[in-house]
Structure 1
């Protein structure tokens, strides 16, 4: 079978998958399985080989990320129910002040809040960001919403335990500790630089009243209440947590986040020990990502039970189990497509056209992910599909697969627009017009996408 035949059929399978999703409104899970089935049968795997690739690809990826995703989503649901996020935003405002708040909020969203399911996180944080923006003046709402969107989306695909990040790490068999360290190395400067660019753009007048229709319940900018105060809804009080003095609230906020932060610290410690070649059995057990996140989940259950009560814990766990099911299935079928592509030999074919010392594979995966995202509107699907196509190239040319994972994640952020559910959710909760959401969400995250690949390519040349 010729190389051209394999490449053409791979392109046809990906195109058919995209058309099924956007033209015929087929569920992404079914469309991805259909694409993998066509590719396996067309490229000579046969009936048995195609079925094996689909089932084993799904199972292998679930073995890598299944428990990680479940533990992460459950921890996030508990943090949401306890009111920890609102408290964290209040603490950030007191600590950094309004001027530096866009940077603080975006980096916090990209790192500390990534265990929380994205749509839930948008529902909680977008109204808070709007209220903070009203206090800033000078396109403050646009600046805050843009910073929030950049942090949320970058974190999803680059920072553990973001759902897209876990899927990419499992797909490419990147150790989770390595993904955590390298992801932070890319995500933090990418987020900060993108927010800085957009702050400058908005200060130069790229915003007007048509972009932000006034909401009837908006307070005046001069007397706008801080989150959880005055005329704005107090989500913390509604959650049953109650109020406390500022110092007490900061202490409680730290307690609520401590189990998850300790879990991430254990994962990072495990990665450092692996690099150093040090193995201490009890520490290696605790630092394994599954065990670390399990310990984090147990600790989060304990602190949430104390803060919000046992009924709140049960409600949060029920919501978390429901959300994690659909996430796992979608990511799992991405593994089916990935193994099918690997089994037809596409990696060897593409590997002959790249060298280990070129940015071409990373730029190619970024472009593929960007194009897929524009068409499909799903960050996760576009990142997984692009990574699946280029994953076999990494061992063939000696490129660390973590860079392909990060490049696919960066590309999948390009041009989030009206095909995205999150776009419309942000638009309604932030009180922006469609045009205003395009200027903030779409442009801001696209800037982060471009900056991200600009950070990844040089780092991949200097780091092992």
Structure 2
């Protein structure tokens, strides 16, 4: 019975989001209340449980997501992202420009949500395709693939960071495992996959090729841009390595662990960005703070959606559904990693949103960590991989890719849906392989 109630609740969630077009946050909170009541939670405990789940999730995430948005906005408006792209293009040459764009998407995507990174980089894709006289998808597919890979696997991106909070996973270690999976996945789903669809050659859609292109003197240097963008990644990776190699009572271990916490790593990076992308470029502090404010406004609803996912998770835990699922699985031979991937994949196909799929699946699967002893870091990556599969037409990313690249629905399925599925399946394979060695 608990699973039937849960299935009905998820069906209602899909209906509200897909058919009714109700806001995802409102849908998640409403369904959390319905499921909690149906599962037997006393009516007086439903609201406190929702508050507990929402607050517990955002308490560990709001700073990380906000700082990430600030860093991304400062990088975009200073020309730092454009500097990274143009320098890599010059280094790689026009024949290998797809690799440069893939690396650019990989770097920029770590700090930005997929949609924000896509809109940020699409003018550069158009500019590169037009100036280098190469097919639009030759640079577009590697860019989109790299952004999607970071969305699924690499903290401090808000997506995997949010899932890590739910599983209580070590974010630094998740980053290390995620990078091992993300690099080959981005290569296969981006530059290599393009060779399978190179027969498609859409034109740049009319009215879209009007990017803001920074003059050389307006942009920060490449070293400044790349250094600022990668500061949080380096600090978090260093903390993860320290946890694996250093004694816990050593001074270096404590320093690296402190600096490598997501909050501190991103706070340091934003502080550096205020100078490198702002003050040193001649901007006043009031101008910089306006950019920072706009960045936070842009991700306010995303934070609420993440909190809504946390509320549903808490309802499932406090009502005993999570424990029931864990006990049910304890008698099964199916790997919890595979099961979690399947749950996220089914939700993704049904409701479209990778964020909703990941958070809902994590809420359902979170109790499995304690029951089975599976690595919470690998559960994060399995959830992220499953949440990316296919990208059906009820996913905004489907239409974003279709419209900006001027494709038909059939062509979008052959390109965008295929590369998302490659990322998802390769992610699962990578997770299963790593699980053998840890």
- TM-score w.r.t. length of structure 2: 0.90
Describe how 1:33-44 pairs up with structure 2 within 5 A. 33-44=29-40
Task: Indicate which of 39, 44, 48 corresponds to 2:44.
Answer: 48
Secondary structure, aligned partner of 1:174: coil
Contact (CA 8 Å) 1:169, 1:176: kept in 2 or not?
Answer: yes
- Answer whether contact 1:366 1:410 (CA < 8 A) is retained: yes
Quote the residue 1:89 is aligned against: 85
Q: CA deviation at 1:371?
A: 2.1
Q: What's the CA shift for 1:82? A: 0.5
Which residue of 47, 69, 88 corresponds with 1:73?
Answer: 69
What is the DSSP-based 3-state SS (H/G/I as helix, E as strand, rest coil) of the residue aligned with 1:193?
A: helix
Rate the CA distance shift 1:316–1:372 in 2: closer, same or farther, 3 A. same
Q: 1:110 to 1:420 in 2, by over 3 A?
A: same
Deviations 1:412-464 (A, max 9, x none): 1112133222333333333434443333222212221122112211212222x
1:129, 1:55 → 2: CA distance? 43
Matched with 1:147 is 142
Corresponding residue for residue 260 of structure 2: 287
1:25 and 1:95 map into 2 onto residues whose CA distance is 46
| Conserved 8 A contact 1:133-1:144 | yes
Stretches of structure 1 that go unaligned for 5 or more consecutive residues are 219-231
Change (3 A) 1:459 1:99: farther
Q: Structure 1 residues 391, 333: closer, same or farther in 2, change over 3 A?
A: same
The corresponding residue for 1:307 is 281
1:296 aligns with one of 238, 251, 269: 269
Q: Which runs of 4+ in 1 moved over 4 A?
A: 134-138, 213-218, 355-359
State the Cα distance separating 1:68 from its structure 2 match: 0.7
Give the unaligned 5+ runs of structure 2.
none
Counterpart CA distance in 2 for 1:217 and 1:356 is 58
1:30 Cα deviation (Å)?
A: 1.1
Match of 2:361 in 1: 386
Task: Look up the match of 1:453.
Answer: 428
Residue 131 (structure 2) pairs with residue 162 (structure 1): no
The 2-side partners of 1:216 and 1:348 are apart by 54
Counterpart selection for 2:53 from 49, 54, 57: 57
> Counterparts of 2:427 and 2:260 in 1: how far apart (Å)?
29
Distance 2:97 2:341 in 1: 30
DSSP 3-state at the match of 1:352? helix
Structure 2 distance, partners of 1:88, 1:30, is 39
Give the match for residue 7 of structure 1.
3
Going from structure 1 to structure 2, the CA distance change for 1:184 and 1:354 (only over 3 Å counts) comes to same
Length, aligned pairs only = 432
What corresponds to 1:227 in structure 2? Answer: none
Q: CA RMSD in A?
A: 2.5
- Residue pairs, 1:12-411, within 5 angstroms: 12-134=8-130, 140-203=135-198, 205=199, 207=200, 212-213=202-203, 215=205, 235-237=212-214, 242-244=215-217, 252-276=221-245, 277-278=247-248, 279-280=250-251, 281-305=254-278, 306-307=280-281, 309-310=283-284, 312-354=287-329, 360-411=335-386
Distance (Å, rounded) in 2 between the aligned partners of 1:455 and 1:76: 28
CA contact (8 A) 2:203 2:405 kept: no
